[in-house]
Structure 1
């Protein structure tokens, strides 16, 4: 199955959707969605703008921004509270969009110790304890 582009906007909260997510009783020309704000019944406040440095890393074209994007998965891992273990198998990757991977077999969640070993620097979730 192939999804359309993420180009359809909820008329209430402006969340982006795939056309295939539309409510069955709505039309393709004016699709309605309920998975985001329940048709306008749920109202979430907007996020505040991030600090300029963070915004520039995500949207800029500087050397620092390029470096950031090349290593973003490593940065996410540093801040993770758990890690996954599995056997990765080849799968068709979409061009652009969210990175995804296919797994084969069981998926394991590996948790490290809550506190660092004596004499070692804290890492991962230990930084926050």
Structure 2
């Protein structure tokens, strides 16, 4: 079921059995349930330490990066971390193979046969300090098996 503001329900429906008309053709469209999460992700998701660093894990395993200019007035001492986007948002994606002497990052890390090597590279980055190497490795493997683009990067690398 979609999550809605209860007060936006159709006037012919009740609070106990709300129906909404702005989407799903008033309940006529039924979406299939989400597929089961991979077991290692389910396990990590109930770990408080993982949850407290979930944004850090997400950034460590990203395929692309985002470049932003942060304005001081957007910074706050309270509430969630936010930044304001003006205009368009672009993801930065480097070449498939890093320049000589430069460690691979982002999508470049998905071309390795050995996830331990990719995990070691990620774990040694200062911004990833405190992340669990086992969880990083498990998540890398999970993404490699389940993310549409991971095998494409590997295949492109093999063609080059």
Alpha carbons 1:86, 1:105 under 8 Å: kept: no
Q: Deviation string for 1:22-43 (max 9, x for gaps)?
A: 2464556354224552322322
Paired residue total: 105
In structure 2, distance between residues paired with 1:34 and 1:56: 37
Residue in 1 aligned with 2:120?
A: none
Deviation at residue 70 of structure 1 after TM alignment = 2.0
Write 1 or 2 for the structure with the bigger share of helix.
Answer: 2
In structure 1, distance between residues paired with 2:93 and 2:33: 35
**1:76/1:47 CA distance change after superposition, 3 Å:** same
Alpha carbons 1:86, 1:108 under 8 Å: kept: no
Q: What value does the CA root-mean-square deviation take over the aligned residues?
A: 3.1
TM-score, with length taken from structure 1: 0.57
In structure 2, distance between residues paired with 1:112 and 1:52: 30
Deviation at residue 73 of structure 1 after TM alignment = 0.5
In structure 2, distance between residues paired with 1:17 and 1:100: 25
**Which residues of 2 match residues 45-84 of structure 1 at below 5 A?**
45-59=32-46, 65-77=47-59, 78-84=61-67
Write 1 or 2 for the structure with the bigger share of strand.
Answer: 1
Deviation at residue 80 of structure 1 after TM alignment = 4.3
TM-score, with length taken from structure 2: 0.49
Residue in 2 aligned with 1:11?
A: none
Q: Which stretches in structure 2 are left out of the alignment for 5+ residues?
A: 111-149, 154-160
1:118 aligns with 2:99: yes
